[in-house]
Amino acid sequence: MRQPRVTAEDSASTPGPPVPDTQGDVGSPEHGSDGESTGTVVLAGLANLGIAIAKLVGGLISHSSAMLSEAAHSLADTITEVLLFIALKRGNKPADDRHPFGYGRETYFWAFMASLCTFALGAGFSIWQGISTIVHGEEQGDPLISYIVLAVAFVLEGSSLFKAVRQVRGAARRWRVSPARYLQATTDTTVKAVTFEDSAALVGLVLAALGLFLEQLTGDPAWDGAAAITIGLLLLAVAYALARANVSLLIGQSASQRIEDELRTEITALPHVDSVPFLITSVIGPGQLVVAAKVDFADDATADDIEQPSDGAERRLVARHEGVRYVFLDPTAGDDRARMQSHDADGAPRD
């Protein structure tokens, strides 16, 4: 029997609303989200570039480690947005002969590189600058310019975060989940990265202002250094969370158990299908899934009886689960033979 295959073009032309009975799970693409994500990334990048320059000027005038750390933070965020922009463009390339599933996972590679940038440049410089200030001290300058820069940066970062949050809330409403649940489960790591980084930026601005104020109040530069170290630790946490999410998706993360159960139910409901003893899914890009299943057909099913439900599976899964891009069904006996065979490191099969 031929293996059914659903192409991205087929799924895009198949009518069907967002899956209403997958409440609590996020795994399908939101139509038009690519353009919205691109706008979110571009706005965040432009804002961060201007903020980085302003913070650098403020830090040099005030001799503040926290301000210089914030400048490094914003520079890292700017580079991150450039990498995320590349991720969006590269990930949307159409499938070709060498990459039959498309380039969706390349999105996660560039997003992972962005998290490394945050880790190395933002967090590393901030922690080093903070420790250096505590150990060696610093000459205090006029903090007024730094307070002005921090206030302007707070407004700009807030506007960028507002756009990202609006996109998250809109997507969460469509999926009937909370924004926090959406951010946890979504495979659109670009909007997740912008939301996390802008949130961390606002917290970092507050920490920098607090360090400046306490240094001005006490005359002790250790407060400014402590603020820089805290900003670095905050960036470490953000970089770790984003890197972990992207590595999982880059390797080939499955859909949630609930979505897999629903896919299994859909296939089991097809005519002449007794059971689906084995089913796997894999995320191949933001909101894109591959579905592969071993299907136990009725013993008296003819070749036509098997082929017709297989064609029906293509239409049913794509119509009800718009994230499905490819479907592969394999007729099999409903016993232990349906188990996926494992292999040793040298490729030899084993029980």
Output the DSSP codes for 205-231: HHHHHHHHHHHHHH--THHHHHHHHHH
Q: At what angle do helices 144-175 and 33-62 cross, to 10 degrees?
A: 160
Check residue 25 and give its pLDDT: 47
> Range with the lowest mean pLDDT among 13-27, 222-236, 253-267, 273-287?
13-27
CA distances from 170 to 32, 160, 179, 276, 306 (A): 12, 16, 9, 35, 41
User: What CA–CA distance (Å, rounded) separates 55 from 207?
Assistant: 14
Q: What 3-state class would DSSP assign to 191?
A: helix
User: Beta 324-331 vs 288-297: how paired, if at all?
Assistant: parallel
Res. 61: pLDDT tops 60: yes
Q: Which residues contact 265 (CB under 8 A, 6 or more apart)?
A: none
Res. 345: pLDDT tops 60: no
| 54-70 mean pLDDT | 85
Q: Which two tokens stand for residue 23?
A: 């409440």
> Range with the lowest mean pLDDT among 58-67, 128-137, 223-232, 334-343?
334-343
pLDDT band at 28; cut points 50, 70, 90: very low
pLDDT band at 315; cut points 50, 70, 90: confident
User: What CA–CA distance (Å, rounded) separates 133 from 57?
Assistant: 18
Instruction: Give the chain's radius of gyration (CA, Å).
Output: 25
Check residue 209 and give its pLDDT: 92
Q: Which residues contact 180 (CB under 8 A, 6 or more apart)?
A: none
> Range with the lowest mean pLDDT among 20-24, 59-63, 70-74?
20-24
pLDDT band at 45; cut points 50, 70, 90: confident
Res. 167: pLDDT tops 60: yes
Check residue 335 and give its pLDDT: 53
Give the closest residue to 175 by CA, choosing from 19, 311, 39: 19
User: What CA–CA distance (Å, rounded) separates 82 from 113?
Assistant: 11
**Share above pLDDT 90 across residues of the chain, in percent, rounded to a whole number:** 13
User: What CA–CA distance (Å, rounded) separates 119 from 227?
Assistant: 17
Contact assessment for residue 302 and residue 310, using Cβ atoms and an 8 Å cutoff: no
Check residue 9 and give its pLDDT: 37
Distance of CA 211 to the CA centre of its chain: 32
Res. 13: pLDDT tops 60: no
Q: Which two tokens stand for residue 8?
A: 């991205």
Check residue 36 and give its pLDDT: 63
pLDDT band at 230; cut points 50, 70, 90: very high
pLDDT band at 46; cut points 50, 70, 90: confident
Cβ neighbours of 253 (radius 10 Å) = 17
The H or E element containing residue 291 is strand 288-297
User: Beta 349-350 vs 342-343: how paired, if at all?
Assistant: antiparallel
User: What CA–CA distance (Å, rounded) separates 272 from 122?
Assistant: 58
Contact assessment for residue 252 and residue 243, using Cβ atoms and an 8 Å cutoff: no
> pLDDT tens across 107-121, in order?
899 889 988 888 778
Res. 207: pLDDT tops 90: yes
User: What CA–CA distance (Å, rounded) separates 223 from 229?
Assistant: 10
> Range with the lowest mean pLDDT among 45-49, 108-112, 192-196?
45-49
| 148-166 mean pLDDT | 87
**Share above pLDDT 70 across residues of the chain, in percent, rounded to a whole number:** 84
Res. 240: pLDDT tops 80: yes
| 145-158 mean pLDDT | 88
Arithmetic mean of pLDDT over the chain: 79
Contact assessment for residue 111 and residue 246, using Cβ atoms and an 8 Å cutoff: yes
Res. 277: pLDDT tops 60: yes
Q: Which two tokens stand for residue 315?
A: 């239409």
